[in-house]
Amino acid sequence: MANKKKNTLDKEINEYEKQLKEKENLYDEISLESRDIIRGSGIAITLLHNGNKKESKNKIDLLSKSVKNLLSRDLGFRYYTLQAYQEYAEAQIFYNLLINDRFIILDEIGIPTESYLLGMLDVAGELKREIISLLMSRNVKRSEQLFHYMEEIYDKTRIIRFPEVILPGFRKKQDVARIQIESAGNEIVLFKR
């Protein structure tokens, strides 16, 4: 009787190990996909800064497919994919502000809310970088338009207050965005003197 129970337990343990191995393999795939999305989003943003709008758009379109694929598979690992979605949101928002002069909203890119909001705050830094570049080219009007977007990002998100466990890193990003806005505003004022 004891031997029969042992065989049953052995089968159960083997099944558990098989399930966990499948989960581990999925985690490995998701980790690689997340890193690729993070890297690709950075490349798309760099292409935009360098004036390669078409290449940036192509990169973002490819990332869109990767993000949709990842969203369909990451349910048990959402914590580990949030940064990938955040970087993707940053690339999408920055691209649409620079090229289409509009904010792309969460429903259009279909990622978790937290990642969208964190990515939006990161856009303030990209806008500041673009403003400096525009000022070097003496394009004050466009730099002021982008500065307005920075202010809008901060003003619209300023009312959001949640604990770190709900929205990790958000308050720090708000503080950084505020500092970047003040700095970019100073740069514009100094340039106009």
pLDDT tens-place string over residues 125-176:
999 999 999 999 999 999 999 999 999 999 999 999 999 999 999 999 999 9
Q: How far apart are CA 170 and CA 162, in angstroms?
A: 8
The answer for 103, left when phi > 0, alpha when psi is -120 to 50, beta otherwise, is beta
Q: How far apart are CA 93 and CA 176, in angstroms?
A: 18
Burial (0-12, 13-18, 19+ Cβ within 10 Å), 175: exposed
pTM reported for the whole predicted model:
0.90
CATH architecture of 2-192: Up-down Bundle (1.20)
Q: How far apart are CA 75 and CA 45, in angstroms?
A: 27
List Cα–Cα distances, 41 to 69, 76, 127, in angstroms.
16, 23, 15
Tens digits of residue pLDDT in 28-84: 999 999 999 999 999 999 999 999 999 999 999 999 999 999 999 887 888 899 999
Q: How far apart are CA 136 and CA 128, in angstroms?
A: 13
Please report the pLDDT score of residue 62 as a whole number.
97
Q: How far apart are CA 36 and CA 78, in angstroms?
A: 16
Tell whether the model's pLDDT for residue 2 goes beyond 70.
Answer: no
Please report the pLDDT score of residue 77 as a whole number.
87
